[in-house]
Homo-oligomer: A and B are copies of this chain.
Amino acid sequence: MSKNTAILLMHCPDQTGLVAAVTDFLHKNNGNIIDLDQHVDTNEHYFFMRVEWNLEDFAIPKEKIDDFFGTLVGKKYDMKWQLHFSDQPQRMAIFVSKMSHCFYDILQRCMSKEWNVEIAMIISNHPNLKLIADRFDLPFHVIPITKETKREQEEKELALLKEANVDFVVLARYMQIISDNFIQHYENKIINIHHSFLPAFVGAKPYHQAYKRGVKIIGATSHYVTAELDAGPIIAQDVEAISHKDSIADLVRKGKDLEKMVLSKALWLQLQHKVLPYQNRTIIF
């Protein structure tokens, strides 16, 4: 929990010697590797890697690692990379509407320190869940949205997020479509939970669609939000068996359990810096 590690997420065209170059860089500077996972997409000839190492005896000071790695390794191999430190908790904004199941699930994990993250704020288009936020002394902004006000209200939200140094946004059953403009400010940094096993039942009322189609399993999908509705890179999915005995109300009830678990699973991965989106797919280390 109170680890003092650095994490590098990197990707580049595949070529011989990539793993050797990175591990050599760490090894020579006394970086003890705690976790290393790499993947080669053999169709695309593309290389992906996540490596986490102990900073304790590491020869390069924290603030210089990015520069050193870039100069000595990254640029040579035409890499894109992210550098993270485990002792710097990310700051998360939670968007909600009226339903509380995902919200409670996140709260419990934060409050019990299962997750190392800061809840910067809650934003909602409805006041319903304010009471819960109050009980936990969390800042709660009610920002109603209509077609006419969407643009300006989103600007308000963006200002709040920026001011609070929010790293990523969680849509915890937030029932509004986010505009392209908003998305561009947080590319691959807005995590949504959709209440179906995508790509089945895109859009509104997926449980009604599922009931009508007579499926024997329902699902939930957590994904990064992109311009196309419910079509962004998938982080996590899960399903549950249903039967003809389940009414639409039963699907909604059972689906809530899926939604909160799948969303929390995706958030856990995000908090560990274990998700690397690439071309509408994700590498999960």
Known: A27-B20, A104-B108. A199 touches B215 (CB 8 A): yes
Q: Which residues of chain B are near A112, meaning CB under 8 Å?
A: 99-101
B214 lies within 8 A of A280 (CB): yes
B30, B36, B104, B233: the one within 8 Å of A16 (CB): B30
Q: A172 to chain B: closest CB distance in Å?
A: 12
B20, B43, B237: the one within 8 Å of A215 (CB): B237
* Proximity string of chain A (267-282) to chain B, C-beta cutoff 8 Å, 1 when within and 0 when not: 0000000000000111
- Secondary structure of the A contact surface, majority rule: mixed
B23, B32, B39: the one within 8 Å of A23 (CB): B23
Interface residue tally of chain A, by bracket?
A: 35 or more
Residue of B nearest to A35 (CB): B40
Inter-chain CA distance A27–B22, complex, in Å, is 13
Residue of B nearest to A20 (CB): B23
Q: Which stretch, A68-76, A85-93, A159-167, A238-246, touches the partner chain B? A: A238-246
Q: Which 3 A-B pairs have the closest CB atoms?
A: A214-B281, A104-B108, A20-B23
Residue A33 at the chain B interface, CB threshold 8 Å:
yes
Q: Which residues of chain B are near A178, meaning CB under 8 Å?
A: none
Q: Which residues of chain B are near A114, meaning CB under 8 Å?
A: 101, 253, 256
B30, B32, B37, B107: the one within 8 Å of A104 (CB): B107
Residue A60 at the chain B interface, CB threshold 8 Å:
no
B32, B215, B244: the one within 8 Å of A283 (CB): B244
* Proximity string of chain A (228-262) to chain B, C-beta cutoff 8 Å, 1 when within and 0 when not: 00000111111101011101100001001100010
Q: Which residues of chain B are near A100, meaning CB under 8 Å?
A: 108, 111-112
Q: A28 to chain B: closest CB distance in Å?
A: 8
B257 lies within 8 A of A234 (CB): no
Known: A16-B32, A201-B199, A234-B215. A37 touches B37 (CB 8 A): yes
Residue A216 at the chain B interface, CB threshold 8 Å:
yes
Residue A284 at the chain B interface, CB threshold 8 Å:
yes
Residue of B nearest to A53 (CB): B16
* Proximity string of chain A (196-233) to chain B, C-beta cutoff 8 Å, 1 when within and 0 when not: 01111100000000000111110100000000000001
